[in-house]
């Protein structure tokens, strides 16, 4: 007799699968943590006054540079860059860590690998920030759950630039500037 597992599907139905089947292994590995809804993410962005970009890079071809430039130019947020190996990023002073910032940011936007997220969550908790926003492609469910248990709002595997532009009518092809000139005023 084969061992089976009962799996709940996203539509709410359950089914039994052989526990050794590839599908059972895939379903077991799937994400169960979801995070804030689109409306909640929009509220986070609208209420924020400052953001710290952890893992910001002075290299203009890195995604953190694109996002940092967007945040500086297309929002009213006070933007701080955190990188212990840089003095300045995008013309601003870079800070070695979150504790060195001149204020506690409303959002900590993170560009670090998934394995680093637990220690960043601990840093965010230590300074008293309320929201950690982990960039698109970066996911650590254990860190997300730990942060939420400590009262942190956690957004994960989402790009702050893309989300801000989407909520403010400024999203173009794939979240990038298409070069199309328009008279339409972009929202902030």
Question: Residue 73 is encoded by which pair of tokens?
Answer: 């130019």
What number is the average pLDDT over the span 63-79?
95
pLDDT at 184 over 80: no
- Going by the DSSP 8-state scheme, the letter that residue 183 receives in this structure is S
Residue 2 lies in a domain: no
Query: What pLDDT band is residue 19 in, cutting at 50, 70 and 90?
Result: confident
Mean predicted lDDT score pLDDT of the chain: 86
Q: Specify the number of domains making up the chain.
A: 1
Residue 154 in contact with residue 132, Cβ under 8 Å? yes
Residue 154, SS3 per DSSP: strand
- If one compares 163 and 182, the residue with the highest pLDDT of the two is 163
* pLDDT reported for residue 134: 97
Residue 66 in any domain: the answer is yes
Query: Rounded to a whole number, what is the distance in angstroms from the first to the last CA of the chain?
Result: 61
Residues 79, 64: Cα–Cα separation, whole Å: 12
> What's the CA angle centered on 79, arms 76 and 82, to 5 degrees?
170
- Residue 11 in any domain: the answer is no
pLDDT category at 20 given cuts 50, 70, 90 is: confident
pLDDT digits (tens, 9 = 90+) for 87-132: 999 999 999 999 999 999 999 999 999 999 999 999 999 999 999 9
pLDDT exceeds 80 at position 6: no
Q: 27-43: per-residue pLDDT in tens? A: 665 667 889 999 999 99
**CATH number for 97:** 3.40.50.720
Question: What range defines the domain where residue 59 resides?
Answer: 49-175
Kind and range of the H or E run holding 73 = helix 63-74
Whether residue 183 is contained in a domain is answered as no
Note whether residue 130 is domain-resident. Answer: yes
Number of Cβ within 10 Å of residue 79's Cβ equals 22
17, part of any domain? no
182 falls within a domain = no
* Model confidence, pTM: 0.77
CA distance 107 to 5: 40
> What is d(CA 55, CA 57) in angstroms, rounded to the nearest whole number?
6
Query: Could you tell me how far CA 157 lies from the centroid of its own chain?
Result: 5
Decide if 112 is inside a domain: yes
């Amino acid at each position: 007799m084969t061992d089976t597992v009962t799996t709940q599907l996203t539509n709410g139905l359950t089914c039994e699968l052989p526990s050794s089947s590839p599908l059972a292994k895939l379903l077991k590995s799937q994400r169960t943590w979801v995070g804030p809804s689109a409306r909640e993410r929009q509220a986070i962005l609208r209420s924020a006054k400052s953001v710290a970009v952890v893992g910001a890079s002075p290299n203009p071809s890195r995604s953190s540079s694109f996002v940092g430039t967007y945040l500086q130019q297309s929002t009213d947020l006070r933007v701080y860059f955190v990188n212990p190996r840089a003095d300045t990023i995008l013309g601003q002073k870079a800070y070695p860590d979150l504790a060195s910032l001149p204020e506690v940011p409303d959002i900590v936007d993170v560009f670090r690998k998934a394995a680093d997220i637990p220690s960043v969550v601990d840093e965010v908790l230590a300074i008293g920030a309320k929201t950690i926003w982990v960039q698109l492609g970066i996911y650590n469910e254990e860190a997300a759950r730990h942060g939420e248990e400590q009262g942190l709002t956690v957004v994960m595997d989402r790009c702050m630039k893309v989300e801000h532009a989407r909520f403010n009518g400024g999203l173009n092809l794939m979240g990038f500037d298409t070069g199309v000139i328009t008279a339409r005023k972009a929202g902030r």
